[in-house]
Structure 1
């Protein structure tokens, strides 16, 4: 090696990679911002020319009339027909009072505590509340369909509030399906609930960019659907040509994004269906984020057993390490006590049957302490060892209330301090050691009685022997 050269440490290399990645992201965001600015200026120029050509078009006026506001917020069509007769302007800007209070400078060094005012328009109010007839009247009166005094268009509001009829009305009257809000999102990015599916369909029918990115997070609509566990949206976007492996600012693909989301027990199936659709569409299960977390790492951390099974069936690597040196097994064991309704024992069992590394025996008392609310998890884990050195520390690791609740199970564990493991268990360990990571493939193919097959695959029995 030359005296003028030196070896980069892994940390230095990682730092250089991150710097290069951040530079590339900065360049992309700059290009995207310039693109949106140019598009905005072009649209503004066209609108300004139209305003000069037509004297009938009037600029938006500020409206403080409480009667008008009451009619809009209640969806009173008869009142609106009187308030907005033919020939009147419907392009109004409304300053509703209320919300949070903030300090505002009044001049001469004085400040006043006033209510924060969020600018809106009649279109925003009616579209977000689903008042389709009122919205139609305003559009017929020439309301500016893309007016966004508060930073979002009426189309954003209708999609976020899941109002498909209003969404379609706005699009029919020329609303920009790719309008970017001041937060850098397009209407497709605010379709975040199952009820917004029809809105998403209309947006795509009227030219919404299927791979359009949000400014800050660089999410595509497919990322949004995956993050929110929306299988119908996911299928729809893929039919329209969504890029299945595009990365966002954090280096997450849609599959990574779905696996990384915190999931309640009642949401597990929704996220599983999303992952199933994405893998069926060819999503790469080996792509990792900036910290080398794979989808399997994330699925274990959020304890979704069906997703873990899906990823393992598609060839996910059980022993890949992230930058912190942790494998998927570490991730699930750290969250067992918080994820009891998610059946964490299923994940531990699946990982072991696919050849996962085991816990260092000296650390088993710590695992016992943190996982004692899930005896099945402990049972599966301990049955992966041919010999165990049970000490008083094991007994002290289990909280008294859980020791009492699961008395029979923990007594069978602690009895191993005086009794060796059974011959049957030792035979199981020998077979599993021979097969290693092939256990899940070979055992089901053997013509074995159901009891023996399940026993080899670490089925739960409620005690240790």
Structure 2
């Protein structure tokens, strides 16, 4: 019987018999099922899907041309079609003869996937009314995965109302909730949770929960919503990371530092463990220091994070920030160095200060905070050789004052600061907060930056 898709006039004349075939490659005219106008759309949703190669039909779906979609997808037509799309990404593929060639990445999709991912709600509603199967996943993901991933809230709502599974597992181990990865997808998250998506389900490969994903991406509203729906704070993924670890570990640009801070603030205020260690024994403070986020470091320290605990590599949080300071200048790593020292971080062994200078000379304020945490520092000619001439020219006052320490003692004011800091070691922040000191003196005791050494 004829399985060609019922089309009209010019479109019908443009089609060839092989343009429509079932998903396993059998020509449409060989199918045993009638897809004539007299059939039922719901009946077709249970039949083996056909493959669509007609560009006119595909163009109507991709552009959201509702009039054309209505003409092509009549009540008795095949609805559950398989469409093979070609992307812009080239990848290596092998042929049966063992030859490798570069070809464009191809993907199997359906009319539902196309309309849901592009936000064509009118077309999507029509397809669902005509009996399209909401959970069909020829490419490994359902239309709900596609709609949620593209932040199409209205489309996600239509699919869920039509019975789409909010817990559908994709071929690569993701549920729709795991693919809501943009700030605009917050309404999709809300819809999924309303229709029964499990807030704590994990991805199959990474063992990430939706809270891991949202925290890693710095999605403040997502984190807030997931926590409101009972997201667990201490679930660990394959790397041993809790959501707080994941947020602290994610590299981010200076303009994103504030939203990552707000994510961490939400997690901490909800009871997340401050000292949770991942598989490498990296704590949130270690990870925040690697990313030079002073706000997060201050938050963790204020909540009692262990400032001197080591990871498997033997590095403390101070080691981590000094290792990345030269590459994170726009993040102001000196603020992290100062915060750690003010919370009792064990200082660098004086004999290693030259190595620190060699790696951190482009961040003089980090050097300033570190050097000001010692009462005496032995500065030799090697220190001058460690700083490139162009850096000295950029920060002349600071480096001239640093090099002059090789032949002159520190000021009495500085020595008094060191004596008081030593006396209050481990209690500095607590005691200073209770003393009514002038602001200038308060900042001086907390290693405020002056861009010169005395």
When normalised by structure 2's length, the TM-score is 0.88
- 234 and 393 in structure 1: CA distance in 2 versus 1, 3 angstrom threshold: same
Contact 1:385 1:429 in 2 (8 A): yes
1:385 match: 374
Deviation at residue 100 of structure 1 after TM alignment: 5.2
1:63 match: 52
SS in 2 for 1:118: strand
Deviation at residue 417 of structure 1 after TM alignment: 1.1
Aligned mate of 1:353, from 335, 342, 346: 342
> 4+ runs of 1 displaced by more than 4 Å?
53-57, 97-116
- 61 and 352 in structure 1: CA distance in 2 versus 1, 3 angstrom threshold: same
SS in 2 for 1:283: coil
d(CA) in 2 for partners of 1:135 and 1:157? Answer: 13
Aligned mate of 2:270, from 278, 281, 303: 281
Deviation at residue 323 of structure 1 after TM alignment: 1.2
Using the TM superposition, name which of 442-451 and 205-214 deviates more: 442-451
- 254 and 101 in structure 1: CA distance in 2 versus 1, 3 angstrom threshold: closer
Q: How does 1:200-211 map to 2 (within 5 A)?
A: 200-211=189-200
d(CA) in 2 for partners of 1:185 and 1:306? Answer: 32
- 112 and 293 in structure 1: CA distance in 2 versus 1, 3 angstrom threshold: closer
SS in 2 for 1:192: coil
Deviation at residue 449 of structure 1 after TM alignment: 2.0
- 378 and 104 in structure 1: CA distance in 2 versus 1, 3 angstrom threshold: closer
Structure with greater helix percent:
1
SS in 1 for 2:51: strand
2:284 match: 295
2:79 match: 90
Contact 1:146 1:154 in 2 (8 A): yes
Q: How does 1:21-420 map to 2 (within 5 A)?
A: 57-97=46-86, 99=88, 116-420=105-409
- 311 and 89 in structure 1: CA distance in 2 versus 1, 3 angstrom threshold: same
SS in 1 for 2:405: helix
Deviation at residue 99 of structure 1 after TM alignment: 4.6
Contact 1:384 1:429 in 2 (8 A): yes
Contact 1:89 1:142 in 2 (8 A): no
2:443 match: 454
d(CA) in 2 for partners of 1:361 and 1:383? Answer: 12
SS in 1 for 2:109: coil
Contact 1:58 1:89 in 2 (8 A): no
Contact 1:159 1:191 in 2 (8 A): yes
d(CA) in 2 for partners of 1:257 and 1:106? Answer: 40
d(CA) in 2 for partners of 1:376 and 1:55? Answer: 70
- 400 and 236 in structure 1: CA distance in 2 versus 1, 3 angstrom threshold: same
Gapped regions of structure 1 (runs ≥ 5): 1-50
Gapped regions of structure 2 (runs ≥ 5): 1-39
Contact 1:89 1:141 in 2 (8 A): no
Deviation at residue 363 of structure 1 after TM alignment: 1.3
d(CA) in 2 for partners of 1:271 and 1:348? Answer: 19
d(CA) in 1 for partners of 2:143 and 2:180? Answer: 14
- 386 and 112 in structure 1: CA distance in 2 versus 1, 3 angstrom threshold: closer
1:109-133 CA distances to partner (integer Å, 9 max, x unpaired)? 8888765531110001111111111
> Between Structure 1 and Structure 2, how many residues are aligned?
414
SS in 1 for 2:323: helix
Deviation at residue 102 of structure 1 after TM alignment: 6.5
When normalised by structure 1's length, the TM-score is 0.86
Q: In the alignment, does 2:429 pair up with 1:444?
A: no
SS in 1 for 2:306: coil
**Aligned residues: CA RMSD:** 1.9
- 375 and 108 in structure 1: CA distance in 2 versus 1, 3 angstrom threshold: closer
